[in-house]
Structure 1
Amino acid sequence: MPKDTVLDFSRRFLSDALTGAEAIPFLNAEERLMLNHIRSNSYAHLFLFLEEYAVALAAQRASQELHGNATHMRALLRFTEEELKHQQLFARFTGAFARGFKVVPALLDNHVEVARAIMAKSNLGVLIFNLHLELMTQQHYLETVRGNKTELLDPLFCNLLKHHWLEEAQHTRLDFLEAQKILAREPDTLDAALTEYGELLQALRGTLNAQLALDLQTLEKAVGRTFTPEEHKHLFEVQERSYVWGFIGMGMKAPLFLSRLRALSPIAEQRVLELAPTYYCD
């Protein structure tokens, strides 16, 4: 994506399946499109935000292979480089968005703090969380972008999502192998790692809600009016459900994520399915 890219704000960037903008009855068509754009920009920013810990995880795992398996080390170093490339890609999109949108969007800026909190968990817990996010990316593309002929989504943003998904699909194989290595060496660590995965989902929900609050501030500025308390409550409820389902529910229910968990241990799949109703996955 060139640095001087100009975005086409006449089209939706993300599918409504991931933004829920069309479910807001008191917004007109122009305002719903602005909400779609705001959510799409936040989506890109959240991946930029979360790639911070992914870079740290890959670099840490690579360092552990320094005097071990050279092939694994090279693969992990490529992984690290690709995650850095993703950060640059999403940064270019959010930069282009800020230049072209009606107002400057409000975005979370505590990515280093969040990355440190995630990396404080065990490697196995973080790897399971990472598999969730990687395979969630696949579900987003397969379910809402590929073959989407009804929404006329922006082709540039669709292409960005496609390339992100293709590389993340490669990363899942490596993360799964790393998780298997840990379990082969330390089989008793799975229960604690699954508990940590649940804690990371709760923390992610908090991060999503924090970004949602900023999204609504941006939306009010963009539409030029303050929402009534009832409107704000409705917006938050609909958008919170959309965020949580998109980033947590779709990952937990991704068929390949569940099959990877099952391959690690049937207990792992069962534990995740028990958590699912908390995240609109009934």
Structure 2
Amino acid sequence: MIKPNRTLSTAVLTFGFVFLYIPIVSLVVYSFNESKLVTVWSGFSLKWYTAVFHDAELLHAAWLSLKIALMTAFASVAIGTWAGYVLARMGRFKGFTLFTAMINAPLVIPEVIMGISMLLLFVAMEQVFGWPHGRGLVTIWIGHVMLCVSYVAIIVQSRVKELNKSLEEAALDLGATPFKVFFVITLPLIAQALVSGWLLSFTVSIDDLILSAFLSGPGSTTLPLVVYSRVRLGLNPEMNALATIFICLVTTGVVGVNFWLQARERRRFAEIQRAFAPADAAGVAPQSAGRKAQKALDPASA
């Protein structure tokens, strides 16, 4: 068996991280540049951050993108959780292949094709039904949900397949309804997958450019469209400041959610250990009880 070269692996990994993060670091640094030239440092200044918060067009576009991203994340998690659960637990029912293809289609169809098809659909619906009245927030939201549901469904499907079915079966044997089992047992166990799907949907929506370009209308220009239109005219330090603000917000949110999930897992593990505590009195070693608790918490680790 060929052993990997540790030095070569470290060098490749280092090059990959440098290639990815050096541009981001330089963008953050030059957001504090006083000069209008984004590649020439002339001194430290916060004037571009002040300019961002006084730019009405940019703030309106950012608020619109934030609203659409939040709406998309919640709707995608709700629909994608149902779709992923059906794919993981309902077996090969009649129409399973078609259902799977419809869920996975947005992952492989180019966004340009999706944008054109949805634009034609909304134009035809407006002519026949009188809705939607033009294109704006609602049409962009529908397009983003259609795109993000697939990501959530795949994440939830993979997590549900790893669950220990005996926990749900035990709840059913004790008299719980399938509806209650899903919300009391299954959802807490797949909470991390739901949070991951929510964050991914939010990220995909807030920086989507192609679908938004097809589905937007007058007065509904999202932030990526504004940034793209301005960057085409030349680089602007104001864009560096805006990007830095987003980087800080996203990093803070991801780190905060990660700490919350870790604390939640520790609490659940402690509760399960306490549930197995009577086993110690019966002569079972505490380490054995701890392993049982870990297996109940995450059967994949057994």
So what's the TM-score if we normalise by structure 1? 0.35
Indicate the structure (1 or 2) with the bigger Cα radius of gyration.
2
TM-score by length of 2: 0.34
